[in-house]
Structure 1
Amino acid sequence: MKKILYISSLITLLACESRTYEEISENVPVVEKVTYSKDIKPIIDANCIVCHSAGGQASFQPWTGYNQVKIHIDNILDRIQRQNGDPLKMPKGGSLSPMQINIFIKWKADGLPEN
């Protein structure tokens, strides 16, 4: 009986997944209205602005304001969704989380609101 209980417990433990809150939340669709000021700008500031501002590698395409990001949204979506290893993937040397990418997608779907 102890052997069966042990095997049953082992199977239960092996079947359990250990996932962080961020991993779980990445699969949850963004349901609230996404705005540039509240949602997009913080992601841009944390991941893109170092290259996409004066003096950066991509200063020829600055993303320092709402209109600049809005104009380039299709290019941004293309670049952030590329596979790792693709030389055109952004941000260089990293990736946005699936949740952050979903925020950009939802922002476009919501009509690109500023506030």
Structure 2
Amino acid sequence: MKKLAFIFLSIVLVIVIACDSRTYDEVSDNTPITVEVVRYQQEIKPIIDANCVGCHSPGGPASFQPLTNYEQVRNNISGILNRIQRPNGDGLKMPQGGSLSANQINLFIKWQADGFVEN
């Protein structure tokens, strides 16, 4: 029984140590947006491709919510903004296991404010 408790505590300790505990400010670059109009093809799609489509595509664990094209991303912007702006440690934060930079998050916000320009 003591051996089982020791193994359990060891596993918990490894999980706790392995968790990312950096603050949002530490992982963001706070670079101001320099583009006049944010466009899906130039600014948003590269972020989605690098951080989202691994899960949010056919065959991925989040294939029920694909983000592989302009319409899917535009139609899900509220959910995307909700998830990418959550604090670290929140189980609903996206992307899982990481965080977008403040600049990347601001690009999504400005893209919405600019009227979802595609090209």
Shared fold per TM-score greater than 0.5: yes
TM (norm. structure 1) is 0.76
Identify the match of residue 47 of structure 1 among 28, 39, 51.
51
Q: Greater Rg, structure 1 or structure 2? A: 1
Q: Which residue of 1 aligns with 2:41?
A: 37
SS at match of 1:79: helix
Percent identity, please. 63
Looking at structure 1, the residues matched to 69 and 103 of structure 2 have their Cα atoms a distance apart, in angstroms, of 22
Which structure 1 residue ranges, 4+ long, deviate > 4 Å from structure 2?
Answer: none
Identify the match of residue 111 of structure 1 among 111, 115, 119.
115
Q: Return the letter of the residue paired with 1:50.
A: G
Looking at structure 2, the residues matched to 73 and 30 of structure 1 have their Cα atoms a distance apart, in angstroms, of 21
In structure 2, do the counterparts of structure 1 residues 30 and 86 end up closer, same or farther at CA, with 3 Å as the change threshold? farther
Uncovered stretches (5+) of structure 2, i.e. residues with no partner: 1-27
Q: Which residue of 1 aligns with 2:83?
A: 79
- Conserved 8 A contact 1:30-1:103: no
Uncovered stretches (5+) of structure 1, i.e. residues with no partner: 1-21
Compute the RMSD of aligned alpha carbons: 1.3
Q: Which residue of 2 aligns with 1:61?
A: 65
